[in-house]
Amino acid sequence: MKRVFVGLLLLSLMVLPVSAEPIKWVDFQVSKEAMEYALNQDIVTLDQEKHTGWIEILSLAACRTGGSCGLASVKQAAKDLQGDKSPEELLGSLYKYYSYYYEAYSAVLGGLAGSYAIEKDGEFVPCYGLKAFSPIAAGYGYSHCDDFGVGRSFGFRRKHLGNDLMGSLGTPIVAVEGGVVEAMGWNRYGGWRIGIRSFDSRRYYYYAHLKKDAPFAPGLAVGDTVSAGDLIGFMGRTGYSDKENTNNIETVHLHFGMELVFDESQKECNSEIWVDVYQIVRLLSSHRSSLQKGENGWQRVYPYVDLDLEDFPKE
């Protein structure tokens, strides 16, 4: 296999004009509808004289709303950016927050859209748009709600730092984005789990409570690179135990989380930056990887190439 503010008051305490200090906290409050609209504007203006990127649109809207990016504010931002004024001219005194939002949103969304190619009928077709995949493979049902921050008590009282997707035992789980497998194995909280770092190192994806006895995609190992949409494991209910391979979770589900890493000192510490991925999962629900199991194991129905990382496949 191949290898996301809070109010302006708090923000003013975090953002320094020119500083080597990495961002220390991000509260991602962008709706699925706002992301979808911004991405569509990114796509439709790609070949126009003025291409407007979705992160640029969302960052402008966030400066105006304090980070709560609703659809109306994003539509206005997209319209304004198609004019002759720069973000600085459009924002005035609020422009001092723009670099923060742009960096924060780039960290959250930087690997989710771009250029890619999918093979159909023996031919690779180049595309531009949403290139990350839902963590749940195509054809498999699931349900979820925004449960980020809900209390948890096993081990110690803490907040839930992800989104739980409820489904059926054995449901194939795929890599949302390509990257390198950084962690794999048993964790007393997450059971059988996989951690994958994006190629730009900004996002650490955490997939937990995988299936007892057969949690991982065959042959997958720490250090392997995976592509977006590749099979990585199977849904289960392991965890909440010091004993390996134990089903101590009542409901079959995938815990899916995203940690932002602006500096390696943030990776494993008491101030890690985990963001609410519920709206991102909603966005990705329209883009799911098709897998099939045959004599040679699991295979992708439509081979995929990330054209921002690799060359277009040659015949």
Q: Are residues 243 and 167 in the same domain?
A: yes
Express each pLDDT in 175-202 by its tens digit: 999 999 999 999 999 999 999 999 999 9
Tell whether 217 is covered by a domain: yes
Tell whether 207 is covered by a domain: yes
Per-residue model confidence (pLDDT) at position 158: 58
Q: Are residues 92 and 196 in the same domain?
A: no
Tell whether 119 is covered by a domain: no
Residue 19 pLDDT grade (very low, low, confident, very high; cuts 50, 70, 90)? very low
Per-residue model confidence (pLDDT) at position 86: 96
Per-residue model confidence (pLDDT) at position 150: 83
**CA pair distance 230, 109, nearest whole angstrom:** 19
Is pLDDT at 6 greater than 50 in this prediction? no
Is pLDDT at 130 greater than 60 in this prediction? yes
Express each pLDDT in 61-96 by its tens digit: 999 999 999 999 999 999 999 999 999 999 999 999
- In 3D, which of 257, 135, 141 has the Cα closest to residue 189? 257
**CA pair distance 9, 32, nearest whole angstrom:** 25
Q: Are residues 102 and 148 in the same domain?
A: no
Rounded alpha-carbon distances, angstroms, from residue 136 to 101, 222, 273, 282, 285: 29, 21, 24, 12, 8
Tell whether 221 is covered by a domain: yes
Report the range of poorest mean pLDDT among 35-44, 147-156, 201-210, 278-287: 147-156
Structural domain range at position 198: 143-306
Tell whether 138 is covered by a domain: no
Contacts of 249 (CB under 8 A, 6+ apart): 191, 209, 237, 238, 239, 240
Residue 279 pLDDT grade (very low, low, confident, very high; cuts 50, 70, 90)? very high
- In 3D, which of 314, 165, 130 has the Cα closest to residue 237? 165
Tokens 């096993």 correspond to 154
Express each pLDDT in 27-46 by its tens digit: 999 999 999 999 999 999 99
Query: In this prediction, what percent of the chain has a pLDDT beyond 90?
Result: 82
- Average pLDDT value for the chain: 91
Per-residue model confidence (pLDDT) at position 15: 42
Residue 50 pLDDT grade (very low, low, confident, very high; cuts 50, 70, 90)? very high
Antiparallel, parallel or unpaired: β 29-30 and 68-69: parallel
Tell whether 314 is covered by a domain: no
Decide: 78 and 19 in contact? Cβ < 8 Å: no
Q: What's the average model confidence in pLDDT over 254-263?
A: 96
Decide: 151 and 163 in contact? Cβ < 8 Å: no
DSSP string, 234-286: EBB--BSSSSSS-B--SS-EEEEEEEE-SSGGGSSSTT-EEE--HHHHHHHTT
Tell whether 266 is covered by a domain: yes
Domain count, the chain: 2
Per-residue model confidence (pLDDT) at position 147: 83
CATH number for the domain spanning 216: value is 2.70.70.10
Tell whether 135 is covered by a domain: no
Is pLDDT at 291 greater than 80 in this prediction? yes
**CA pair distance 74, 120, nearest whole angstrom:** 34
DSSP state of 111: T
